[in-house]
Every structure is written in structure tokens, then in C-alpha cells.
A = this chain, B = another copy of it.
Amino acid sequence: MGYDLDILISGGTVLTMSDGMNIVENCAIGISEGTIHFVETEEYLKTIDWQAKESIDATGSLILPGLVNTHTHLPMVCFRGLADDLPLMDWLNNYIFPAEARFVNREMVYYGSMLAIAEMLLSGTTTFCDGYFYESSVARAAIDAGIRSVSCQGFIDFPTTENPDPTNNILIGEAFADKWTGVSPLITPAFFCHAPYTCSPETLATIKDLARRRGFLYLTHLAETQEEITTIVDRFGKTPVRHLYDLGILDDRTVAVHCNWLDDEEIQILADCGTSVSHNPESSMKLAAGVAPIPKMLDAGVTVGLGTDGCASNNDLDLFTEMDTAAKIHKVTSMDPTVMDAQTVLRIATIDGAKVLGLHDRIGSVEVGKRADLVIVDMQKPHLTPCYNYYSHLVYAASGHDVSGVIIDGKIVVRDRILTTIDVDGVMERVREIAENIRKEHLT
């Protein structure tokens, strides 16, 4: 048997995150044309004919599937640290919404996204699911940087700089779908209705119909705050989850983001409908929005992925530290240290995140036939020594800074912590220029 490989990774230990959670020590991973062809021990190399254009020695490192960030608003890196420690409505109405109305445009979205992608690649994220204005510019940045993206056209019932007339929503959705369907293996187009309190039942249902016709994923913020619950109950006489359920929106191609305020029956509704959840613990802690009942959701069989949310409410995109927080917040909230164990949390950040986004046939684990989205973590560091348990270290001790290499769709995008696809100094400079204008208007 012969292999003409693009990349051979040898040495190191693979956490495959397969159903059997197989671990392969002294590994050999063969990649060609973006696909994983074998995941074996180094001994295997003696039994086959092979050549590789590039070899990576991963001795002393862990290799894992790239992390999946199921909820971002990438361009919001431009507002990182602009306004913190504020009540949610003050933050939104007096800082974020005015800044967005004034400064969001295609250029800001492209360069903000590129900066965010640089940060994500350097911290081991290989797939993100984003919703923002001018989402085509987010997708363009993703293609240019070589990262995998579920890019969501957003919908909301008030005029925006991108779409001054919300009655055009359906046309905009159709145009976005036409534009991005089948363009790149890296881009999966999808739709994002902002929330039940900013979208009418008609908008929510019409866009869901369009998503169904196009075979698209459908996302919405849901049950993020207690205020939202009150608002929707006042308006429709039922909670947000029941409101969406009655509209026929909850199915296995809908992702509900946040879900901090669910009762047991609502959890069961999500489970019965196959609706998955994007969990963003740090954002919801920082905004004092609430703590989602994730352990109960997992017990009920709801598929949960991890997300960072936008950088104005986190304020970083590091999924390693997000994993750490996800594990710890649920232990103390439920007063049970056994919930959200390290293996479960790493599954949520990899294969389960891929399931949330409907991409688990292609990514989320290191297995033969899947696309080669891999992260290499350097374990030869004081804070990762000694090592008894790989999962524990990744969740409780590592951070994105320990990532040494990243491969997406079979291309090396981070090598020895250097980005190969992004002029990071140039991008930082562009974003600083954008920020200088924001600073002048908002902080002086």
C-alpha cells in the first residue's frame, strides 16, 4: 500500500475524540488532499510505502481535533474592552448599539474578523459559527485565512446600516444563500434570527422556512436573560422556548444560543425536538445574564457545543480557558464536583460542537476519512508538568497559548505559533486605526 501524503505528523499522542475516545501514543497521522488517511502508531510507517511533502515532529505534544466555537460575533473584537462592568442595557444601548450604528461597515467587519481569526487560530480554534452584519465579509476573511466557518446572515426587525428595510429580509436571505452555497469547502452558509424579542413571529417563521428550503442551519439567541423571559411572556403569554416551539421552529437544524433560563420541561422540549444548544459561559457570567443548566441538558440528551460569544462580552476567543470556566461554573452552581468532567467538556468543545453545527460527518474528531482539522498542543511546559491525565490538563491547566501548530482542511495555518496565512501585524494596525476613531467618539 502506498501513500503520497501532503503532511505526515509523527510522534506525540492523539486524542481522537472518537466515539471510543481512542488515544494513540507515538502516533503517525497521514494527510492528503485535506483528508485524514490514517491514524496509527509510528510502527505502521514501517509497513507501508509513503512519502510526504511535509513532516511534522509532534514528539512531546498532544494532537487533537480543532476546537469548534459555536457562537461568535467576530467583528466585535473592534469593541474589545470599550465598555465593561456595566448593566446589560446600559452596555447595549449606550455603548455597543451606538458604536455599531456608527462604525460597522464592510471594512471594519473584514479586518475585525481577520484579527479575531488570528486570535482563534493561535488558540486552537479551527471552526467558528458567526452571526453579524455584513456576514459576507466575515466569510471572505475566513476563506482568506483558511479557517472553517459557519457564516450566518443575520435578521432583525429594525433597520440596520446593512439593511435599512427589514421587509427585505427574505430577499436578503435568498441572495446570501445564492452567493455562498457551494462556494468553498470552508464556508457553510446559515441563517441567524437575532432573538424572539427583536424578531416578530413572522420573521422567525419565515426565515426558518427559508432555512428548511435551503437545507440551512438556523440559529437564534434564546432565553439569555430573565428580562427576555418576562418580555416574551408579557408579549405572547408563553416563554421563549415554548414560543419557538409553537411556531414550529425547534428541530434538529436549529441551534439555540445561551439558554440560561430553561425549566425542566423546556429542556425536554429541546431534547425531543433535537434542537442543540450553544453554551457561552464566560459571556453570560460577565454580563450577569445567568448560568445555563448544562448538566441537566446533557442528562436529557441535548447536544451542547461551546462558544465564546463576541469579544465585547468575554473578552477573548480562547476556547481552552472557556472549557476551564465551563467545567468549574457548573460544578459550583450545582454543588457537585463530578459534573462536567474534563472528557465531557473536551467533547463539547470538539465533536459535540461539530454535531451542533451539523458538521460531524466532516470534522470534530481525528478519524480516517474526516477532513484534517487538527491542533498540536506543546505539553513540555512547567504548567503542564507532570501529566497524569491529558483531558485534565487540556481543560484545567492549558490555554490557547500552548497551541504550537494548527492544520485546517489539510493546510498548515499555524506553524510554531506563527500564522502562515495572515499578516498579523498589518491586521492589528488596521484595527488600531478603526479603534482610534471609535475611541475619539466614545471615550473622550
Binding site for B on A (CB under 8 A): 77-78, 80-82, 84-88, 91, 115, 118-119, 122-123, 282, 284-291, 311, 314-318, 321, 324-325, 327-329, 331-332, 334-338, 340-342, 380, 382-383, 385-389, 392-393, 396-397, 399, 401, 424, 427-428, 431-432, 434-435, 438-439, 443
Contacts and interface: CB of A to CB of B under 8 A. Distances in A.
Given A332-B285, A337-B286, A388 B431 contact: no
Nearest to A115: B382
B329 A285 contact: yes
Given A85-B337, A86-B337, A118-B382, 11 more contacts: A85-B338, A85-B340, A87-B338, A119-B383, A122-B383, A123-B383, A285-B328, A286-B396, A314-B396, A318-B399, A386-B431
A346 to B, nearest CB: 12
21 contacts: A77-B385, A81-B387, A84-B396, A85-B327, A85-B337, A85-B340, A87-B336, A115-B382, A118-B382, A285-B331, A286-B327, A286-B331, A286-B332, A287-B331, A289-B332, A290-B332, A291-B332, A315-B392, A316-B396, A321-B321, A321-B324
A291 B334 CA distance: 12
Given A84-B342, A286-B327, A341-B85, A385 B332 contact: no
A292 to B, nearest CB: 11
A32 B74 CA distance: 46
Contact of A328 (B286, B388, B401, B432): B286
Number of copies: 2
A389 B328 contact: no
Contacts of A385: 77, 80, 115, 428, 431-432
